[in-house]
Every structure is written in structure tokens, then in C-alpha cells.
Amino acid sequence: MAAMSRRHAQAGADKSTDPCTTASHTKLVGYERYPTNQVVFVGRFATVAAVLNDMAANPRLRGVMPTSDDFLIGMEQFGTRSSR
């Protein structure tokens, strides 16, 4: 909770008016409750799968929520192509 409070305070210090910055997203009401990070993995399907496998080995990681432009198609492609 202390880390999330600090993150929110630091975002509040950012005076940028760009709505697409991480600080702007962090300043949204309610956001401070969630320990999120908006990471984008770019690479071959197998490379991204290897990164996710490494993450899964971390006992402190509680979960990952993958998304794609079109979720059903994206997950189908990832599932069928990540082992190539």
C-alpha cells in the first residue's frame, strides 16, 4: 500500500496535460487501489511465451491479464503460434 501511495503522489507531481501518459492514468480516481503496470510485450509469439513463463516462475506474482486488439483472435493466434 505504501508503494502504491507513493506512486500516486509522484503522479500527482507531474503537471503534464497529456492524457495518454502513465502519470495521467495514475491520477484517475480509483486507480491508486490497483498495482497495475501497462506493459507491452513485442516480439515473436515464442519470445513472448518465454517471458510469460519466466513471470509465472515468480511466486510473488499474483496474475497477468493479457489483452490484444481483438481478444478472441489474438488469444487463438497466441495459443496456436507460441510453441513454434
56 and 77 assigned to the same domain: yes
Radius of gyration of the chain (CA): 16
* 49 and 76 within one domain: yes
Residue 40 lies in a domain: no
Domain membership of residue 39 (yes or no) is: no
d(CA 75, CA 77): 5
Residue with more model confidence, 8 or 54: 54
Q: Residue 22 sits in which domain range?
A: 2-33
Whether residue 51 sits in one domain with residue 25: no
Domain-located, residue 19: yes
Is this prediction's pTM over 0.75?
Answer: no
Alpha carbons 42 and 47: distance in angstroms, whole number = 9
C-alpha cell at 48: 513472448
28, 39, 33, 27: which is closest to 3 by C-alpha?
33
d(C-alpha 25, C-alpha 3), whole Å: 16
In which band, very low, low, confident or very high, does the pLDDT at 32 lie, cut at 50, 70 and 90? low
Residue 38 placed within a domain: no
Question: Is the pLDDT assigned to residue 79 strictly greater than 80?
Answer: yes
